[in-house]
């Protein structure tokens, strides 16, 4: 059974929205405060969902492929952010003026929507595990799956 491009794109909308909802639950419900790299990954998840939604709603195969290709690129950016958070940033006592902090400051989302995009912990303080795994590995896994979905749609045979 082969999934249609529309199903892959729908997954690229639903999965990242679920990831952000889960992150908000762990922040507000379980008191796990995010760092700058955490909230940057939220932004990337929402961007993946946005371009996939455009690919889903706009008519034609080209729109589907374009949305998927953009989603693929964004998902690979998310993979990089999750890996950087785990291997580099989590060993740092401060995220101030890191790339993630600068991006979030540039967008202004951290001040407009602080309940979603404000970083409340340093990278070292935000080290958390969920079900025995580093929290960022859940993001990493989802970004890899989203990249695979984007690849399936963007590079499918005509």
Torsional class of 37: left (φ above 0), alpha (ψ -120 to 50), beta (otherwise): alpha
- Rounded Cα distance, 59 and 87, in Å: 41
In a domain, 124, yes or no: yes
In the chain, beta strands by DSSP E? 129-130, 133-134
In a domain, 109, yes or no: yes
How many domains does the structure of the chain reveal?
1
DSSP 3-state of 77: helix
CB distance 33 to 27 below 8 Å: yes
Please report, for the domain that includes residue 89, its CATH number: 1.20.1550.10
pLDDT tens-place values along the chain, 158 residues long: 689 999 999 999 999 999 999 999 999 999 889 989 999 999 999 999 999 999 999 999 999 999 999 999 999 999 999 999 988 887 776 666 788 889 999 999 999 999 999 988 877 676 777 788 888 899 999 999 999 999 999 987 65
Instruction: Report the DSSP beta bridge partners of residue 134.
Output: 129
In a domain, 156, yes or no: no
Q: Which domain holds residue 145?
A: 5-149
In a domain, 26, yes or no: yes
In a domain, 11, yes or no: yes
In a domain, 129, yes or no: yes
In a domain, 97, yes or no: yes
In a domain, 157, yes or no: no
Task: Specify burial of residue 29 (Cβ count, 10 A radius: 0-12, 13-18, 19+).
Answer: exposed
């Amino acid at each position: 059974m082969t999934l249609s491009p529309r199903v892959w794109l729908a997954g690229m909308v639903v999965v990242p929205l679920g990831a952000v909802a889960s992150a908000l639950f762990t922040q507000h419900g379980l008191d796990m405060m995010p760092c700058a790299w955490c909230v940057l990954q939220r932004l990337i998840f929402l961007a993946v969902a946005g371009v996939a939604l455009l690919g889903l709603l706009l008519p034609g195969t080209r729109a589907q492929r374009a949305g998927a290709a953009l989603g693929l690129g964004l998902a690979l950016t998310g993979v990089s952010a999750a890996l950087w958070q785990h291997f580099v940033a989590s060993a740092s006592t401060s995220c101030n003026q890191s790339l993630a902090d600068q991006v979030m400051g540039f967008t202004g989302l951290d001040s407009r929507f602080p309940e979603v995009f404000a970083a409340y912990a340093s990278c070292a303080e935000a080290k958390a595990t969920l079900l025995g795994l580093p929290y960022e590995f859940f993001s990493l896994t989802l970004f890899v799956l989203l990249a695979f979905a984007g690849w399936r749609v963007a590079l499918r045979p005509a």
